[in-house]
Structure 1
Amino acid sequence: MICPYMVNISLLIGAILSWGIMWPVIESKKGHWYSADIPGSSLHGIQGYRVFLAIAMILGDGLFQVVYMAILTLKSFLEQLVRRSNGVNEREEGALVEDYNERRRTDYFLKDQIPNTVAVGGYLVLALISTFVVPHIFPQLEWYQVLVAYIIAPVLAFCNAYGCGLTDWSLASNYGKLAILVFSSWVGLEKGGVVAGLASCGVMMSIVSTASDLMQDFKTGYLTLSSPRSMFISQVLGTAMGCILSPLVFWFFYKAYNVGDPEGTYPAPYALMYRGIALLGVEGFSSLPKNCLKMAIVCFVAAVLINVLIAMLRKWETKYRIYRLIPSPMCMAIPFYLGGYFAIDMCVGSLILFVWQMNNRKHASELSPAVASGLICGDSLWGIPAAILALAGVSPPICMKFLGAEANKRVDYILGG
């Protein structure tokens, strides 16, 4: 109900393409493309196609967004340099006089800014601590590799923060995927490249995502006349609380459920995807099942071309705005592994919103975010008592499951026998 219609439709299209067409065709090749004895959860079987084709689309979409964001950033900087060289003040551009509220916000925000020495010094201290601590937690990473990550991260963090300010879209996960590929291939399979790549992803994402989050907080502080220092301290306190609460919550769910089981309650799909990216970095394309590489290349190229088409139409086609009707490759890739049920849930929410808007557009626009937030909160809060019941060994009295036609026939045969 919160996501745009095209996002949910893209999820449905991805679910139909994968679970409705591609996976049944690939499963019919069992014994030819991959061994029939391989378990369903192995990346060398059908699971490999699901994961690596999704990874290919996500990487294609992410690579395009990173390059596109870099071009936008460079273009914006060049335009600012041209304005300054022509003696044009950005605040006076277009002969618009800045009003009192805007001057007040700017003066208040700049008056309480964080000194550069504190910012640079704090980053150097954190980099020094991490350089010595992270290798002790993850021995697969050497100290100089962590140092290289901290040297590269500020550039990527700036690009992510600036791009997020332009488009309100953080690409931290894409930078993390690139870190997995680089560091896992650097370390190698024999020295634990999979763990090293995933650990470097955590280091990179913690820096890059924090930059965009802080930028959003500072923007909120600017609009609400809040002190930048208070916003920063709040972020630090929240991060410190997360360092304690997040491991506890993870331990709680890890003990209650079989986290990572593709057939379980918490399949953790992105965990397997990120591990698959790390395997690509250390093993290369030889680890993929038969014809998986060709299909992955097609998915990668298709994701890039779809994004190029959307960008071109957004720039040049303004009358009909056809680009709004083109599905998103990133959204299409999510059901490849996660399954079609997620897409159906999202589309049901869009259908409810559509019917609501047909009956009362004003109420739908005003109340739909509150209704969606209530549904999200209710579903999330139920996770706590559900985990407690699972720890106590309590099973639900009724279980509902949807099966394919063949599986349903086998179940009917067993029950009938």
Structure 2
Amino acid sequence: MESSTNGDRIENGSADLMIRKKEEDEGFGDEKKEAAVVESVEMIFKDKEVPEWQNQLTIRAFVVSLGLGVLFTVIVMKFNLTTGIIPSLNVSAGLLGFFFVKTWTAFLERTGMLKQPFTRQENTVIQTCVVATSGIAFSGGFGSYLFGMSEAVAKQSSEALDAQNIKNPHLGWMIGFLFIVSFLGLFSVVPLRKIMVIDFKLIYPSGTATAHLINSFHTPQGAKLAKKQVRALGKFFSFSFLWGFFQWFFTAGEDCGFQSFPTFGLKAYANRFYFDFSATYVGVGMICPYIINISVLLGAILSWGIMWPLIQNRKGDWYTEPSNTSLHGIQGYRVFIAISMILGDGLYNFFKVLSRTLMALSAQLKNKGPGGVIPVTNSPSSGDPDAAASSFDDQRRTEVFLKDQIPTWLAFSGYVAIAAVSAATLPKIFPQLKWYYILVIYIVAPALAFCNAYGCGLTDWSLASTYGKLAIFTIGAWAGKSHGGVLAGLAACGVMMNIVSTASDLMQDFKTGYMTLASPRSMFVSQVIGTAMGCVLAPSVFWLFYNAFPNLGDPDSQYPAPFALAYRNMAILGVDGFSSLPKYCLLLCCIFFFGAMLINAVKDFTPPKWSRFIPLPMAMAIPFYIGSYFAIDMCLGSLILFVWEMMDKAKAAAFAPAVASGLICGDGLWSVPSSILALAGVKPPICMKFLSRGVNSDVDKFLGGS
């Protein structure tokens, strides 16, 4: 799902932003907000010394980051390979990082062995490193462009099946590819950090929210609440892990277990309407805003409840392909209509964010003060205590932020050096991706990285996957199908996505560091180390899934990887045109493409009071080809949260994210032992299946007769 969503996920932080907007609309936390306005945050910490940037980078911070990085990489990978909906895990990363280090330092303090206290700057380093590590699991394309290169996905499209348009995953080249392309975005925007954060005062809502979270953790009241939240997270983590373990015993065969429970009857189950008892997506439903969950459910009803049964009735007229997985049959309608909605939504938001970026940039440049810095809105001389507090915070944060400069020459030389190396080595991995394609991408990428980082600062939306899709069509068409254009387009998508995604992520981290007085140098080093961890961990975790589940990527399997097929078919469209589409599919695609843009436009021009009830086309598109089972899970999570808020709003606001994180983390962690058991050949002992009365009677007769 596109956000955050970053690409095809709920945008890193956009889910948090939408939740915060919902809470503000409904009046949550008004007293806290009023108190926060009057009191200067930095005044609370004025007696605490800010450690040097080297001291913010501690061994214990990176040990904790590595452990949490493994956990969150597994979770994100599972999301990638199931539905592609990836919620923001920033809160979980910051909360667990605080808990583990705080527990360790408290123990050392009691024994008199504590040499360095735990600071909010170190907490920021941990959160940055963990998110950078798990972020590679998304931008690495294991559920989209990278896995879309494989033979397993290619067979589902029945197009471009020649060897030069297929490249199967292998641990070696995946790690090499990520190390080559994942660091360029970091160097592309480093010189702009002062302009973005201080001069233009961009909000970066996710970065700001993370900073407020970390700052609150390190006050006495915040530390007490954080401990309670971690206990709640731990309880539901244990429950979720044990529930996943329990379910495993009943999955000895295909379509066995609780995940195949026909909740609404066998007819509904055949049309993928059922509750699959997934703790993960119940937790996701508690984190995601209500409108996302409802949009997913509406998309499922529109597609599997109405459209696909009607189109199946036209079999023999509109299409003749009997296979349910061939793109020349019913699957073609499912996949390409979903792609058209994704593209329509993505292009609309691209132009919207780009126009806002250009207008805001133009206005800020015109209003820029003679000293090169946009003046603070309020002045302490006005006698306003709010303005005085804000001014003190700005001055203190600006002073620390400008103290440890990152040399501009380092950024430029780093970008040029990595670009030169990748231009020379990427064609070795992908011979179809010529060096001059790569050169064009690297010339254009810094400008796009700036646009993405700036737009993310305004709206909290990263459009990394949209830029990646543009690369798919342009480079794929340039190369041509006969010269491996499908593979070239997918590889170019990976290069572009990694650059623009890491650029916006780094600027979010700079904003977080600015508000927690963490040094830009420590932020940059933490991001680099986290990215390096992710370049090894993400391919390794994917390799575990790939080897443990032979049917990975199959639409009817436990891990269908829906966006892998979508991205591959975008590449096929880029090089092959629309000739392979079934009858009337192009017409339906155009209707849904422009329909997605129209819905977005209506949502933007409708007053907020009513626009929050208008569904999101991107969320509606996801169930079009994977069904609605996860939509049922997510809506159940929304229902739990709604009832909880009706009973106790304050407690729900404080603990719902922790409970949801526990459900997600526990079920996600169970994926590791289940994969290891599969690799070891250990199979569950029981198959729990559900049959209709007639089929069951036939089975009984057969068994009785034998």
TM-score bucket (shorter structure): over 0.9
Residue ranges of structure 2 left out of the alignment (5+ in a row) = 1-285, 380-386
1:347 deviates by: 0.2
Q: Distance in 2 between matches of 1:164 and 1:414?
A: 59
Work out whether 1:8 is the aligned partner of 2:301.
no
Task: Report the equivalent of 1:170.
Answer: 462
Counting matched residue pairs gives 407
Task: Report the equivalent of 2:575.
Answer: 282
Aligned 8 A contact 2:378 2:391 in 1: no
Q: Distance in 2 between matches of 1:79 and 1:357?
A: 41
Q: Distance in 1 between matches of 2:396 and 2:503?
A: 25
Q: Distance in 1 between matches of 2:532 and 2:578?
A: 40
Task: Report the equivalent of 1:295.
Answer: 588
Q: Distance in 1 between matches of 2:401 and 2:442?
A: 28
Work out whether 1:325 is the aligned partner of 2:613.
yes
Task: Report the equivalent of 1:31.
Answer: 316
1:113 deviates by: 2.5
The AA in structure 2 aligned to 1:263 is: D
Higher share of residues assigned helix: 1
1:415 deviates by: 2.7
Work out whether 1:99 is the aligned partner of 2:383.
no
1:40 deviates by: 1.7
> CA, structure 1 residues 410+393, in 2 after alignment: closer, same or farther (shift >3 Å)?
farther
Equivalent in 186, 191, 198 of residue 490 of structure 2:
198
Work out whether 1:373 is the aligned partner of 2:661.
yes
Work out whether 1:344 is the aligned partner of 2:632.
yes
Q: Secondary structure at the match of 1:84?
A: coil
| TM-score for the superposition, normalised by structure 1 | 0.93
> CA, structure 1 residues 148+344, in 2 after alignment: closer, same or farther (shift >3 Å)?
same
1:136 deviates by: 0.7
The AA in structure 2 aligned to 1:138 is: F
Aligned 8 A contact 2:287 2:660 in 1: yes
Residue ranges of structure 1 left out of the alignment (5+ in a row) = none
The AA in structure 2 aligned to 1:53 is: I
Task: Report the equivalent of 1:45.
Answer: 329
Task: Report the equivalent of 1:65.
Answer: 349
The AA in structure 2 aligned to 1:373 is: S
1:310 deviates by: 1.1
Equivalent in 603, 617, 622 of residue 310 of structure 1:
603
1:335 deviates by: 0.8
The AA in structure 2 aligned to 1:160 is: N
The AA in structure 2 aligned to 1:25 is: L
Worse-superposed segment, 184-193 or 111-120: 111-120
Aligned 8 A contact 1:83 1:89 in 2: no
| TM-score for the superposition, normalised by structure 2 | 0.56
Equivalent in 173, 180, 188 of residue 472 of structure 2:
180
The 5-angstrom pairing of residues 142-291 of structure 1 reads 142-257=434-549, 258-291=551-584
Work out whether 1:90 is the aligned partner of 2:374.
yes
Q: Distance in 2 between matches of 1:235 and 1:86?
A: 34
Q: Distance in 2 between matches of 1:200 and 1:270?
A: 16
Q: Secondary structure at the match of 1:119?
A: helix
Aligned 8 A contact 2:295 2:619 in 1: yes
Sequence identity, in percent? 61
Task: Report the equivalent of 1:80.
Answer: 364
1:50 deviates by: 1.0
> CA, structure 1 residues 227+85, in 2 after alignment: closer, same or farther (shift >3 Å)?
closer
Equivalent in 676, 687, 705 of residue 388 of structure 1:
676
1:174 deviates by: 1.2
Q: Distance in 2 between matches of 1:119 and 1:148?
A: 19
Q: Distance in 2 between matches of 1:12 and 1:402?
A: 24
1:401 deviates by: 6.2
1:398 deviates by: 4.1
Q: Distance in 1 between matches of 2:302 and 2:619?
A: 12
> CA, structure 1 residues 350+232, in 2 after alignment: closer, same or farther (shift >3 Å)?
same
The AA in structure 2 aligned to 1:76 is: A
Aligned 8 A contact 2:369 2:375 in 1: no
Q: Secondary structure at the match of 1:140?
A: coil
The AA in structure 2 aligned to 1:74 is: L
1:288 deviates by: 1.1
Worse-superposed segment, 25-34 or 276-285: 25-34
Worse-superposed segment, 96-105 or 256-265: 96-105
Q: Secondary structure at the match of 1:55?
A: helix
Q: Distance in 2 between matches of 1:245 and 1:89?
A: 41
Aligned 8 A contact 1:33 1:290 in 2: yes
Q: Secondary structure at the match of 2:287?
A: coil
Q: Secondary structure at the match of 2:377?
A: helix
The AA in structure 2 aligned to 1:61 is: D
Q: Secondary structure at the match of 1:91?
A: coil
1:15 deviates by: 0.5
Aligned 8 A contact 1:14 1:334 in 2: yes
Q: Distance in 2 between matches of 1:411 and 1:333?
A: 34
Aligned 8 A contact 2:321 2:328 in 1: no
Aligned 8 A contact 1:218 1:228 in 2: yes
Aligned-pair Cα RMSD in Å: 2.0
Aligned 8 A contact 1:175 1:204 in 2: yes
